[in-house]
């Protein structure tokens, strides 16, 4: 049962301007409070939605999308130091063939790609080309031979052999073997007309600073 409404309550229970109580004199103060709270909550939600749409958060969202889009399309983020299907290692790009050719044709294949057959200059580079999983322990040509001058090993770039990784007992020049292949744990001199996989090398391209 609602409490009786006292005549003096009209101004206090009105709308703050001396107006009548919501629902008339028989209205409940509790009903008034709930009704006002509902209106206030609805209005607050509306204001919050408006502020979220037009306020700083909207600017941040737009700016963030613009920044992400700019980053994704910036020259630094799109730069690749090596062509597709080539692998980067210590400033150079390497192509590991899936086909097989003799040594001379392999040299030509690398030249056609503006590269050269791999020249090994360090133990780290040797380990890199040895461990490359596409080789799967296949015999693979490298850019070293002595076919111009027997016993004088020279790289395809014209530099003499300084660092070597020969397998035990190699090179042995068995049957006039003048071209060098990677085989398991080191180098072996092989017949140049055999068909092996091959590795090309080229300098990597510089990328702009991000």
pLDDT digits (tens, 9 = 90+) for 171-203: 998 888 999 999 888 999 999 999 999 999 999
Looking at the structure, tell me whether residues 183 and 92 fall in a common domain. Answer: yes
Structure tokens at 99: 């086909």
Q: Assess if residue 102 is contained within a domain.
A: yes
What are the angstrom distances between the C-alpha of 28 and each of 9, 16, 34, 116?
12, 16, 10, 93
Q: So what's the pLDDT on residue 173?
A: 86
Last residue of a domain, one of 46, 73, 100: 73
Same domain, yes or no: 57 and 122: no
In a shared domain, residues 62 and 127: no
103 and 170, same domain (yes or no): yes
Which domain does 68 fall in, by range?
9-73
- Residue 2 inside a domain? The answer is no
Q: State whether 158 and 65 are in the same domain.
A: no
Domain end position, chosen among 23, 50, 73:
73
Residue range 25-49: average pLDDT? Answer: 46
Is 186 domain-assigned? yes
57 in any annotated domain: yes
The whole-angstrom separation of Cα 100 and Cα 102 is 7
Q: Nearest-CA neighbor of 118 among 206, 126, 83? A: 126
* Residue found under tokens 């300084």: 162
97, 197: one domain: yes
If asked whether residues 19 and 123 sit together in one domain, one would say: no
* β-strand pairing of 197-203 with 186-190: unpaired
> Taking a C-beta distance cutoff of 8 angstroms, is the pair 104, 141 a contact?
no
- Does residue 48 have a pLDDT over 60? no
Q: What angle do CA 187, 114, 79 make, to 5 degrees?
A: 105
Mean pLDDT, the chain, integer:
74
pTM of the predicted structure, to 2 decimals: 0.61
For residue 4, being part of any structural domain is answered with no
**Are 25 and 121 found together in one domain?**
no
pLDDT tier at 39, thresholds 50, 70, 90: very low
When divided into structural domains, the chain yields a total of: 2
Band (103; pLDDT cuts 50, 70, 90)? very high
Give me the helix-helix angle, 56-72 and 29-54, nearest 10°.
30
């Amino acid at each position: 049962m609602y409490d009786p409404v006292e005549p003096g309550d009209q101004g206090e229970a009105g709308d703050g301007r001396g107006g009548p109580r919501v629902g008339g004199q028989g209205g409940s103060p509790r009903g008034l409070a709930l009704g006002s709270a509902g209106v206030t909550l609805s209005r607050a939600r509306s204001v919050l939605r408006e502020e979220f749409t037009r306020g700083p958060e909207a600017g941040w969202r737009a700016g963030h999308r613009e920044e992400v889009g700019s980053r994704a399309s910036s020259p630094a983020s799109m730069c690749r130091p090596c062509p597709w299907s080539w692998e980067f290692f210590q400033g150079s790009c390497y192509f590991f063939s899936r086909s097989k050719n003799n040594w001379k044709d392999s040299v030509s294949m690398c030249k056609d790609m503006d590269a050269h057959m791999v020249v090994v200059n360090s133990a780290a580079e040797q380990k890199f080309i040895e461990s490359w999983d596409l080789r799967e322990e296949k015999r693979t040509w490298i850019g070293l031979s002595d076919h111009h001058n027997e016993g004088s090993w020279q790289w395809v770039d014209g530099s003499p052999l300084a660092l070597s990784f020969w397998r035990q007992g190699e090179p042995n020049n068995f049957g006039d073997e003048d071209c060098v292949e990677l085989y398991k744990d080191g180098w072996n001199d092989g017949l140049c007309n055999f068909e092996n996989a091959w590795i090309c090398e080229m300098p990597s391209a510089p990328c702009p600073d991000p």
